[in-house]
């Protein structure tokens, strides 16, 4: 019973952290890796710095995207 409660609280905590990161605009690297493993097994997975940079560029229009704010 206590182990199940601990698992449920751990799952809730992970979801809250994920929600907070997404609300602030931070991408979820673990979700990306799981998606790549499941849906694109033959393709290479970006390392975290590359993933973070790519997500910031996509969000804020990096590399000449033309967004002003």
Query: Is 58 within 8 Å of 51 (Cβ atoms)?
Result: no
pLDDT value at 30 more than 80: yes
* pLDDT band of 64, cuts 50, 70, 90: low
Say which residue the tokens 């000449």 belong to: 64
∠ CA 36-29-34, nearest 5°, is 30
Q: When comparing pLDDT for 14 and 59, which is higher?
A: 14
* pLDDT band of 8, cuts 50, 70, 90: very high
Q: What is the pTM of this model?
A: 0.59
């Amino acid at each position: 019973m206590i182990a199940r409660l601990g698992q449920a609280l751990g799952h809730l905590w992970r979801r809250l952290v994920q929600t907070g990161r997404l609300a602030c605009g931070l991408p979820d690297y673990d979700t990306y890796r799981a998606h790549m493993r499941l849906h694109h097994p033959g393709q290479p997975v970006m390392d975290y710095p590359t993933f973070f940079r790519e997500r910031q560029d996509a969000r804020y229009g990096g590399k000449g995207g033309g967004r002003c704010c």
